[in-house]
Structure 1
């Protein structure tokens, strides 16, 4: 099966798996994205070693997107549109290094430990809502689409009274069912709120991520850089985790012999989460890379100026990574998968993502030990219209 042929090849999935035509593309091949005047020849990297080589070589592959063929490769100078200012995924060193060093203290293990009880409370509150809704209930609507944004509000330090509005703006900005105009309007409102919040935090820094960064580095970071970083954190952390919650619960319900791991001790649950992240890999691909010079990869020459798109789901299903990579086994030891990227752009929020998913999965099965699919025969509707793969709904019973 080929998945949805209307999607670009790197975004085609069949259930939990990469689509057959994506698998058949090979470890490094030339593809064409778009059509007509907008057709763009691109390299597709799908092998695990190939993806790691491209993502790990920031000296020869630039993450800075080029919107005009005249743009300099490698991204020195200011040519990015405003909405990408502060988005670490579009920066190359040394700009990337400077900004990441400012942001990293917000994601330390110490901060994650302090955040854990708050995440547990957020998840418990959403499970209360699900229980009150009664069986059956839509786990995506009530839990997967609500928990990540609430956690990110807690991380950033959004005041409690503003959080419903903040999450609504974030979801509206992501919702592909809305017109481009409405999504852009939501994005502008989202940015305006962040800039107003920054003005307050500069005067009186709070304990959240925004406040801590401004208290430590307020003289060396601009509001536009911090605004862009917060937008990136919200959009990536919301959509990816929402997708992983729904997909992970469905995968465990389809493999009931593996549910015991998330009911076990913390080490067993962490191992299960890492395997679910590898097996399901919600993000399709990181920011495309542009070759700064001619580079030989997997025996083929990628010319300077050519673009490479890295398929994370395919790299994580490569038999060179695991001989049985298409099998879900939550008891296996973690392997060096690339679901969080690789190299200098490895996801800054990886520890938060793992923590959040562990709390969701363990809390869910402790609260609802008899959790099951409400209608096992019902066709599962997968979500492909947002930046990360996921489910549009998941009806569960208990």
Structure 2
């Protein structure tokens, strides 16, 4: 370890000790201890080799002790699925590690992924009807229109463009704004805030600070629509449940939908397009075989697993998992990426992207009570957007070597900052590129 690493470790330990004296609050952490960052790191699109080693030796392993609690990592598929399905032995209430005292409404932490029943049940009750296949069907022509417009804009800006800025971010951003009934404005600022919400490089300080800004925007949007409800989800919830939901609660619900509906989909579109551009077989399947679209999308979801870790869980009782005894109060992180790359799920070549692979019961959207409520919307966006991209630009080529791409280094949602592409084939003089992992 270098001098800087030793300094960081000493400062981090001092912060942890102070937090334990003054009361636990993750907001005070300016970076995470090295021991708990491994699940958020990758080698290109793949987990670090250590992930496979840990999973093979101990699919449930203790990473560290923080705030007097054990911190565990679950990387095995069977163990992850079991933990995600168990709603009695685990709590998702992160409030025990994040002090709410003295915080403004915008700074309060909550949402579906970080709450337990009965609050979780009540919040989900408002959202579930809006995400049925029947309700979502009305969004299909909207998504098709947005995708077509973005492809036209790319064509006009081409032949070389940044696919993240021109396609992967605008499509889900505009879709979620349509869903919520928000004007498509302040796009650049929200691009920054969306990334910051999942960037762990600054510890809790950066994550919770960015959360306050987006919540403030959406609480204000709710207040403005309370007098004149819009056509989207916010307006519908105000009309149907306005007497039950105050601005802060509804703003929090909208924040969860907004956050989960655009940043994760943007990462999937960017990294999915990257894999397709590097795999002519997969690109061809999307273009010529409509029946293959679902299979390719499911394999992209499994292989990429952009949401790297499920929301942190805390044992409510002493519990046995994967042969390990976890004490009440211990924190457990479930590596969705590790589980989805487990040979128990994906066979002999779990790290290969195989567009012909039969769909698996992957955990890209989680599992159990906290499974992503917008999973079907995400699938719809990916099917429409990636198939349209394959039809419009069948010779799409990435013009940067993988080593030159800036992948997020420490983020709960994995992604790439920019993806330079040539829309109609590799530009003259472009250097050969590294191939994505196939085995």
Q: Normalising by the residue count of structure 2, what TM-score does the alignment of the two structures yield? A: 0.79
1:60 aligns with 2:89: yes
CA contact (8 A) 2:84 2:367 kept: yes
- Contiguous gaps of at least 5 residues in structure 1: 72-77
Query: Paired residue for 1:252, among 276, 281, 284?
Result: 276
Tell me the CA shift for residue 266 of structure 1.
4.2
The 3 A distance-change label for structure 1 pair 120 and 283 is same
Query: Paired residue for 1:311, among 332, 335, 339?
Result: 335
SS at match of 1:321: helix
1:343 aligns with 2:368: yes
Query: Paired residue for 2:310, among 274, 280, 286?
Result: 286
Query: Which is further off, 96-105 or 227-236?
Result: 227-236
SS at match of 1:228: helix
Alpha-carbon distance between aligned partners in 2 of 1:22 and 1:256, rounded to the nearest angstrom: 29
Per-residue CA deviation, residues 129-185 of structure 1 (Å, 9 max, x unaligned), is 2111222211112111222211110110013xxx122x3342232344999989877
Query: Which is further off, 353-362 or 263-272?
Result: 263-272
Query: Which is further off, 222-231 or 355-364?
Result: 222-231
Tell me the CA shift for residue 275 of structure 1.
0.9
1:8 aligns with 2:37: yes
**Map of 1:124 onto structure 2:** 148
Per-residue CA deviation, residues 194-247 of structure 1 (Å, 9 max, x unaligned), is 233223433333321111122222222232121112112222222211111111
Query: Paired residue for 2:407, among 375, 382, 392?
Result: 382
**Map of 2:72 onto structure 1:** 43
CA contact (8 A) 2:272 2:300 kept: yes
Query: Paired residue for 1:28, among 40, 51, 60?
Result: 60
Query: Which is further off, 383-392 or 53-62?
Result: 383-392
Tell me the CA shift for residue 375 of structure 1.
4.3
CA contact (8 A) 2:69 2:329 kept: no
Tell me the CA shift for residue 288 of structure 1.
0.7
SS at match of 2:73: strand
Alpha-carbon distance between aligned partners in 1 of 2:179 and 2:395, rounded to the nearest angstrom: 32
SS at match of 1:168: helix
Tell me the CA shift for residue 189 of structure 1.
4.9
Tell me the CA shift for residue 86 of structure 1.
4.9
Query: Which is further off, 12-21 or 168-177?
Result: 168-177
SS at match of 2:63: strand
Tell me the CA shift for residue 371 of structure 1.
1.2
The 3 A distance-change label for structure 1 pair 220 and 267 is farther
**Map of 1:87 onto structure 2:** 111
The 3 A distance-change label for structure 1 pair 286 and 374 is same
SS at match of 1:42: strand
- Contiguous gaps of at least 5 residues in structure 2: 1-32, 425-439
SS at match of 1:382: coil
The 3 A distance-change label for structure 1 pair 22 and 332 is closer
SS at match of 1:32: strand
1:87-236 counterparts in 2 under 5 A?
Answer: 87-159=111-183, 163-165=184-186, 167-176=187-196, 187-236=211-260
Alpha-carbon distance between aligned partners in 2 of 1:265 and 1:80, rounded to the nearest angstrom: 57
SS at match of 2:352: coil
**Map of 1:393 onto structure 2:** 418
1:355 aligns with 2:380: yes
Alpha-carbon distance between aligned partners in 2 of 1:286 and 1:301, rounded to the nearest angstrom: 20
The 3 A distance-change label for structure 1 pair 39 and 230 is same
Query: Paired residue for 1:19, among 31, 40, 48?
Result: 48
Alpha-carbon distance between aligned partners in 1 of 2:165 and 2:291, rounded to the nearest angstrom: 29
Tell me the CA shift for residue 280 of structure 1.
0.7
CA contact (8 A) 2:307 2:413 kept: yes
Q: Normalising by the residue count of structure 1, what TM-score does the alignment of the two structures yield? A: 0.87
CA contact (8 A) 1:140 1:394 kept: yes
Tell me the CA shift for residue 286 of structure 1.
1.6
Query: Which is further off, 195-204 or 360-369?
Result: 195-204
Alpha-carbon distance between aligned partners in 2 of 1:144 and 1:87, rounded to the nearest angstrom: 25
